[in-house]
Copies of this chain bind each other. A is one copy, B any other.
């Protein structure tokens, strides 16, 4: 059987027949070719309107070898940071006429590898990829033959363009902010023991640097491990810390979701924030501004990251496969100080 044609779906051929011109002329009209007599253009446009004709993008894609779509692979949209990132990427892509195809990997190794294997290579012109499970040991897998930009901290000096931020510095600054408030017993939530790369390890490094700089002894009892960085895992880590009886006067959540989960537990236990325990997060998701108290957080420059990623990808696509040395871009961070670390104004 031939491909079924849905009722009402006219082709360029039909339009050409109705307008009494060649199919190529219809194509020219549709694509805004300049040398068309106004009368001809009008005839074609009338026919298009009459038939409700729409260009078949699939056919055009096939012929042109491009799709006008880029992939965005993130762990989960239900993680606010990635939802907001997706929003920013979609907007940035929209601005240059590209459509974004979102893929959720669930931070599962197998799914992340599938993304790289390029099943969708022909469906998208390039890929913006934020891996969470693949890391340094998979570096070679990232050497793909299609345009790709990596986000995040899993890979450095890899074979692809990379947009990241200075996690170590940002984390040190966040920790120093707590130290400046006079806090000495700072819990760290979301650590990944044994890792040396990735957001968790880098941010822990910054935390340690800050402690060292202030001559505060590092205490492993203050580390709250959490694999996936959700509100729930942050809450669980906080609960474990409190139940362990370890003394603490501040909490640094390695992302906002966990910091908010931790604050939830503190609130539950009637521990005053920031009076007894100051809390700081990382990512500055919208939610951070509206929690009670509002959450101080590291602002990672999400818009900037999204725009740079799209720009790099567009450059690669325009280069048409010509290789150049990979570019690494480091976005600027700032810290937004809010009520969770500041004495509340009256």
Instruction: Give the B-binding residues of A (Cβ under 8 A).
Output: 3-9, 52, 54-59, 61-67, 76-78, 80, 83-84, 86-87, 90-91, 99-104, 118-123, 145-146, 231, 235, 260-261, 263-264, 267, 286-287, 289-294, 320-321
Contact B67 A286 (CB under 8 A): no
Hey, which chain B residues are within 8 Å of A291, CB to CB? Answer: 260, 264, 291-292
A122 contact set on B, CB distance < 8 A: 54-59
Q: A58-B67, A264-B294 are in contact. Are A321 and B145 (CB under 8 A)?
A: no
Between A and B, 6 residue pairs with Cβ closer than 8 Å are A9-B145, A58-B123, A78-B87, A100-B102, A260-B287, A291-B292
Q: In the bound complex, what is the Cα–Cα distance between A119 and B86 (angstroms)?
A: 22
Q: A1 CB to closest chain B CB, in angstroms? A: 10
Which chain B positions have C-beta within 8 A of A61? 58
Question: How far, in angstroms, from A63 to B62 measured CA to CA in the complex?
Answer: 10
Given A7-B321, A65-B4, A83 contacting B77 (CB threshold 8 A) = yes
Whether B235 lies near A290 (C-beta < 8 A) is yes
> CB distance A264 to B290 under 8 Å?
yes
Q: A3-B63, A77-B77, A87-B77 are in contact. Are A260 and B58 (CB under 8 A)?
A: no
Q: Given A54-B122, A264-B289, 9 other A-B contacts at CB below 8 A?
A: A4-B321, A5-B65, A6-B321, A57-B120, A58-B61, A59-B62, A77-B86, A83-B86, A264-B291
Contact of A78 among B78, B83, B123 (CB under 8 A): B83
Which chain B residues lie closer than 8 Å to A77 at the CB level? 77, 83-84, 86-87, 90
- Inter-chain CA distance A345–B206, complex, in Å, is 38
The CA of A63 and the CA of B83, in the complex, are separated in Å by: 34
- The minimal Cβ–Cβ distance linking A25 to chain B, given in whole angstroms, is 21
Task: Chain B residues near A66: list those with CB within 8 A.
Answer: 3
Instruction: Enumerate chain B residues within 8 angstroms of A231, measured Cβ to Cβ.
Output: 286-287, 289-290
CB < 8 Å neighbour of A57 from B9, B123, B261 = B123
Q: Report the nearest B residue to A67, measured CB to CB.
A: B58
Rounded to whole angstroms, the CA-CA distance of A264 and B286 in the bound complex is 13
B residues within 8 A CB of A84? 77-78
Q: What is the bound-complex CA distance between A120 and B56, given in angstroms?
A: 9
Known: A264-B292, A292-B267. A54 touches B118 (CB 8 A): yes
CB-CB under 8 A from A54, the residues of chain B are 118-119, 121-122
In the assembly, what is the distance between CA of A102 and CA of B190, in Å? 30
Q: Which residues of B lie under 8 Å from residue A52 when comparing CB positions?
A: 145
A303 to B293, CA, bound (A): 31
CA distance A290 to B238 in the complex (A): 13
- The smallest C-beta distance from A190 to any residue of chain B, in angstroms, reads 15
For the complex formed, measure the closest distance between the CB of A313 and the CB atoms of chain B, giving whole angstroms.
14
Task: Give the top 6 A-B pairs by smallest Cβ distance, nearest first.
Answer: A3-B65, A83-B83, A267-B292, A8-B145, A264-B290, A56-B122
The residue of chain B having its C-beta at the shortest distance from the C-beta of A322 within the complex is B7
Q: How far is the CA of A78 from the CA of B84 in the complex (A)?
A: 5
